[in-house]
Structure 1
């Protein structure tokens, strides 16, 4: 009888569920723990994004699929050089500038026209490649900055251990994961810059191939004239 009363009393007791509180951090909070080294890495990221946007926009304009030689060939046969020059100048394409240079040198030997067009083509390639060296530098330097931040963090951790003479796995891993953030950030920026550098260079190479093809077509047109 007493046992039954005890069991009933226990059954009527309020049940409580242990509450475990875990401190969660957002990704932004974790990134902020990367340290001061994230400032130069962030600057490199902004610079890379700026170069990528500007170069992509310029190369998009320069890579329009137009064969200007086919367009100006009838004008050359008619002797309408001024109209051909106007068409090339209004194309807003590197090949347009190269052909304009050739048209303005008509009357000179074909070899001289070719030399002037090659000089203009080199100038156009330099213009298209402006800022690309920054992407190459960022792709190498950004990971180094990240690794440097991690090294500084490790030095700080071991210095703290030497002062307190207390080795704690939690303390080491907690501080180390924060410092690894700089390495991850540097690698991410480096990957972005490296990928963009090669993608944009591929587009430049295709434009150069088109310029060479149309330039040769133009010179052959002059030789057969």
Structure 2
């Protein structure tokens, strides 16, 4: 296997580096998403609303503090803002606007953490095939040079085979590295969209509660 990789020539160095970076990012993001997905966010939102209906804002805050993940963090930011305004007996419209803005701002921060390093997978998914194609070009150049040498006195066709091998190996490896980045990224993007949707739903529930109960 190592011998086949080495036949890819110098282009294999950045391809191997890309593959290692991609695997590291995939492992990091998979671990983070796995922790987030362990939290029953629907149950959390239900408990928060139950506490709010019972006028137990601190209980809702405690529920969020004891939970992990971006959804709990966004709800916590909104509830703390709501608790602060509730103590000042602000109007429902003021509380709705302020709490909604706080949760919207915090959700942007939370989603930036959720999507952290996914752009690295995008870059690798784009660059790896291009690196493979570059290896293909350099391999074909070597093949043509080998053909020229083979036509001269004392020339050998071995250089032609080496050039073709370099071209094929780099192309294959470039595509494999790209797939190892693009497929996990697609899964992570879907999970990210689910988290963003739940954040929006949680924000709407809190804002709607403020409007209907004050």
Q: Sort the TM-score into its range (normalised by shorter chain).
A: 0.7 to 0.9
1:133 aligns to 2:119 (yes or no): yes
Instruction: Name 1:152's counterpart in structure 2.
Output: 138
Instruction: Name 1:186's counterpart in structure 2.
Output: 174
User: How many Å separate the matches in 2 of 1:38 and 1:173?
Assistant: 18
CA deviation vs aligned residue, 1:183-216 (integer Å, no higher than 9, x gap): 1000110112111111110110011111111221
User: How many Å separate the matches in 2 of 1:76 and 1:189?
Assistant: 50
1:59 aligns to 2:47 (yes or no): no
Instruction: Name 1:104's counterpart in structure 2.
Output: 80
* TM-score in terms of structure 2 length: 0.84
Is the contact made by 2:9 and 2:135 (CA closer than 8 Å) also made in structure 1? yes
CA deviation vs aligned residue, 1:46-94 (integer Å, no higher than 9, x gap): 1111111111111122233322221123322343323321220221121
Is the partner of 2:40 in helix, strand or coil?
Answer: coil
* TM-score in terms of structure 1 length: 0.80
CA deviation vs aligned residue, 1:13-39 (integer Å, no higher than 9, x gap): xxxxxxxxxxxxxx3322221112111
Is the contact made by 1:154 and 1:179 (CA closer than 8 Å) also made in structure 2? yes
The match for 2:65 among 74, 89, 107 is 89
Normalized per residue, the structure richer in helix is 2
1:219 aligns to 2:207 (yes or no): yes
User: How many Å separate the matches in 2 of 1:192 and 1:152?
Assistant: 24
Q: Number of matched residues?
A: 199
1:117 aligns to 2:117 (yes or no): no
CA RMSD of aligned residues (A): 2.0
Task: Indicate the structure (1 or 2) with the bigger Cα radius of gyration.
Answer: 1
User: How many Å separate the matches in 1 of 2:209 and 2:64?
Assistant: 16
